[in-house]
Amino acid sequence: MLMISSNRVLSQHDAHHRVDKTLLVVFPFFSTWSYIHWSLIMLFITLQSISSEPISLKIYSPDVFNLTLVDLPGITKVPVGDQPEDIEAQICQLCLQYIKNPNSIILAVTAANADMATSESIKIAKEVDPEGRRTLCVLTKLDLMDQGTDAHDLLLGRVIPVKLGIIGVVNRSQADIHAGKSIADALRDEASFLQRRYPSLANRNGTLFLARTLNRVSHAYHE
């Protein structure tokens, strides 16, 4: 789940970005994500659990929209490894800390190949935004749905209505990332998939449409 408010940018369009935690550092994009990975490892080694301390990055690019994203952890139902027994409660409390802010926009992310009616992100969003006035749902894994099924009814809001809408996306797989598939190639493949599988809805879905929608909604919401 992501909570969004208008201020600064997070994107993957530039070859060089500026990263800010306690010091200002400028280095190539791949090093940026190495920095995030390193920061997460250090937090885990220190706490052996989740932390409310954010890893803050300010990323500047002429090709992106002006947004602030807060990337919150997915809700873990069953502790794994050294995770504490109350890991689910800890994560829910952390998520609520951000999304209960009435000035925030909630981006509830759920997989298209899962039962949306039992989506944890939708459930926790409804706790603080029961009418869905500041909730936008993102439907991932459109390309991984069971054969013979599709997401038309989900994308049209016929299953679970959300005031700010439901937008479907196709992300890179872990195999794509390991193979070095670029963001540009991923966007082209996503557009091709949407035109092929959802031609009547293609112009209202996809990563680029999501970015434009977030920019528009954020500015309208905070005017």
Residue pLDDT, tens place only, 58-80: 777 777 777 888 989 888 888 88
Tell me how far apart the alpha carbons of residues 53 and 39 are, in angstroms, rounded to a whole number: 11
Cα separations in angstroms, 172 against 28, 40, 58, 176, 189: 20, 22, 23, 6, 9
Percent of the chain at pLDDT > 70 equals 77
Main-chain dihedrals φ then ψ at residue 174, nearest 5 degrees: -60, -35
Q: Position of tokens 């490892």?
A: 41
Model confidence at 2: pLDDT above 80: no
d(CA 4, CA 15): 24
Pair 201, 152: CB distance under 8 Å: yes
More confidently predicted of 116 and 121: 121
Is domain 2-8+65-222 given the CATH code 3.40.50.300 in the classification?
yes
Tell me the per-residue pLDDT of 195-207, one tens digit each, with 9 for 90 and over: 999 999 999 999 9
pLDDT at position 32: 57
Statement: residue 12 has pLDDT above 50 = no
Range in 19-28, 62-71, 150-159, 169-178 with the lowest mean pLDDT: 19-28
Burial class (CB in 10 A: 0-12, 13-18, 19+), 123: middle
Residue whose token pair is 């009814």:
153
